[in-house]
């Protein structure tokens, strides 16, 4: 039976995403100067105020206030009329030392036996409906906002945009579970104040349709078949969106976990990613299960795969691995038998996940907006400066969990 499916995304200027980006910038700076740092940082942003809280075990000292201000400035909160501005906002730090009770469950005499930083279950998902093995509705929602942010930074074709924005895409699927068209697109973008509100709303709608959408189609021609003249657009449906960002809504780390993952497809174990070092399996095992799911789908094991792994705090070996192929498997094995083979191919103990995906590097700031999954793996050079002026320049691999480096191993294991 044909059906509709919807996913949403939020921009880097959304208050929850500001919080995520600050938390992950702290992670990166701690790891840059001490790769063994254990960090769990939460951020709250509201009108003119940033509050940092959490637990840290590290050999390095950071100017956390300046790191937060640098993130806010990079996002684009640089004007006093936003009521939240990089140079003038207050930044309060309540970060303290990590609990020894937790740390003794993670650090072991041999690194290989490193225990999981918490209990819980994590999920990874992949589908072949897009070239990056991500759900299409979420993919499109991210792209709309990434392009809108590009237009804001260019400040040429559209000059009134402010950093906060949200998008939502509803797709229609046919009886064969294939997307056939876009039914609805919702875009809410913060903007400068206009003297004439009706003119303002008409101008924003026209610019979205005449500038943003054509740029999306130009850069993503593979999605042209989904666009049609019957799409229902809801653009700034409240009529006005001048008050936004942390002045419009308080923001917290870890409140956009579905935007961060699969847009409601697959499943989610409930644990947020941002602000956590890779000893926290909420983050590292979620990346590892995405890596598994993507490589299995790319190898041809199934068209769609969900992978679950679960842990007990302080225990290295997972409680179990679960696979669901949604009836799309291409191999003559039951899902439970596929899970057994996955256990043989991928070592899911926390230390081995960290090593396989190179997670003890400062690679997390880039994950904190527009999704942790479906992104392009690349090698970049990053420079960090400590409060005493020490500089650390590192070459790091971003989004290692998106690499298709296990496809051949999977094919060999499954006889494909």
Active-site annotation, residues: 14, 16-17, 42, 55, 166, 241, 249-250, 255-256, 276, 280, 282
Asked whether the CA dihedral 282, 14, 206, 240 is positive or negative, the reply is: positive
Helix/strand/coil percent split, the chain, to 5: 35, 25, 40
Contact (CB, 8 A) for 335 and 305: no
Q: Would you give the distance in Å from CA 229 to the centre of its chain?
A: 31
Confirm whether residue 260 is marked as ligand binding: no
Confirm whether residue 219 is marked as ligand binding: no
DSSP state of 370: S
Confirm whether residue 181 is marked as ligand binding: no
Distance CA 220, CA 224 (A): 7
Confirm whether residue 70 is marked as ligand binding: no
Confirm whether residue 74 is marked as ligand binding: no
Confirm whether residue 55 is marked as ligand binding: yes
Contact (CB, 8 A) for 308 and 325: no
CB atoms within 10 A of CB 349: 18
Strand duo 320-324 + 378-385: pairing? unpaired
Plot region of 338 (φ>0 → left; ψ -120 to 50 → alpha; else → beta): alpha
Confirm whether residue 255 is marked as ligand binding: yes
Compute the CA torsion angle 344, 346, 347, 352 (nearest 10 deg): 160
Confirm whether residue 240 is marked as ligand binding: yes
DSSP state of 63: -
Confirm whether residue 98 is marked as ligand binding: yes
Confirm whether residue 183 is marked as ligand binding: no
User: Which residues does residue 309 pair with via DSSP β-bridges, in sequence order?
Assistant: 122, 321
Confirm whether residue 392 is marked as ligand binding: no
Confirm whether residue 14 is marked as ligand binding: yes
Confirm whether residue 156 is marked as ligand binding: no
Distance CA 14, CA 372 (A): 16
Confirm whether residue 341 is marked as ligand binding: no
Q: Would you give the distance in Å from CA 292 to the centre of its chain?
A: 17
Contact (CB, 8 A) for 55 and 96: yes
Q: Would you give the distance in Å from CA 297 to the centre of its chain?
A: 21
Binding site as annotated, residues for Mg(2+): 16
Binding site as annotated, residues for ATP: 14, 164-166, 240-241, 249, 255-256, 272, 276
Binding site as annotated, residues for K(+): 42
Binding site as annotated, residues: 14, 16, 42, 55, 98, 164-166, 240-241, 249, 255-256, 272, 276, 280
Binding site as annotated, residues for L-methionine: 55, 98, 249, 280
């Amino acid at each position: 039976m044909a059906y509709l499916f919807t996913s949403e995304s939020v921009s880097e200027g959304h208050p929850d995403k500001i919080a995520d980006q600050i938390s992950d910038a702290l992670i990166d700076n701690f790891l840059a100067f001490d790769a063994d740092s254990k960090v769990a940082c939460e951020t709250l942003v509201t009108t003119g105020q940033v509050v940092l809280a959490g637990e840290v075990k590290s050999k390095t000292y950071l100017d956390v206030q300046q790191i937060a201000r640098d993130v806010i400035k990079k996002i684009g909160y640089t004007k006093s009329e936003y009521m939240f501005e990089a140079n003038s906002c207050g930044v309060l730090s309540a970060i303290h030392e990590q609990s020894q009770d937790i740390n003794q469950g993670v650090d072991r005499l041999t690194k290989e036996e490193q225990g999981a930083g918490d209990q819980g279950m994590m999920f990874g998902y992949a589908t072949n409906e897009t070239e990056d093995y991500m759900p299409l509705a979420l993919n499109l929602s991210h792209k709309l906002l990434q392009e809108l942010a590009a237009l804001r930074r260019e400040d040429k074709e559209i000059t009134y945009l402010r950093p906060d924005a949200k998008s939502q895409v509803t797709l229609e699927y046919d009886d064969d579970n294939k997307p056939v068209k876009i039914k609805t697109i919702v875009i809410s973008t913060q903007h400068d104040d206009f003297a004439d509100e009706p003119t303002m709303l008409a101008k924003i709608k026209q610019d979205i349709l005449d500038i943003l959408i054509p740029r999306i189609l130009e850069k993503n021609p593979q999605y042209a078949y989904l666009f049609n003249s019957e799409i229902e657009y809801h653009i700034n449906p409240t009529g006005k969106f001048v008050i936004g960002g942390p002045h419009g809504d308080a923001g917290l780390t870890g409140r956009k976990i579905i935007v961060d993952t699969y847009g409601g497809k697959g499943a989610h174990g409930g644990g947020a990613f941002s602000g956590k070092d890779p000893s926290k399996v909420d983050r590292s095992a979620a990346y590892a299960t995405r890596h598994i799911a993507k490589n299995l789908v790319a190898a041809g094991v199934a068209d769609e795969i969900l992978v679950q792994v679960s842990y007990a705090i302080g225990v290295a070996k997972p409680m179990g691995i679960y696979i669901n192929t949604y009836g799309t498997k291409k191999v003559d094995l039951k899902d439970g038998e596929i899970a057994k083979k996955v256990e043989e191919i991928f070592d899911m103990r926390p230390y081995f996940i960290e090593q396989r995906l190179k997670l003890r590097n400062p690679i997390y700031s880039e994950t904190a907006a527009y999704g942790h999954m479906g992104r392009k793996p690349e090698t970049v050079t990053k420079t960090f400066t400590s409060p005493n002026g020490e500089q650390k320049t590192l070459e790091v691999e971003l989004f290692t969990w998106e690499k298709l480096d296990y496809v051949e191993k999977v094919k060999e294991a499954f006889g494909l």
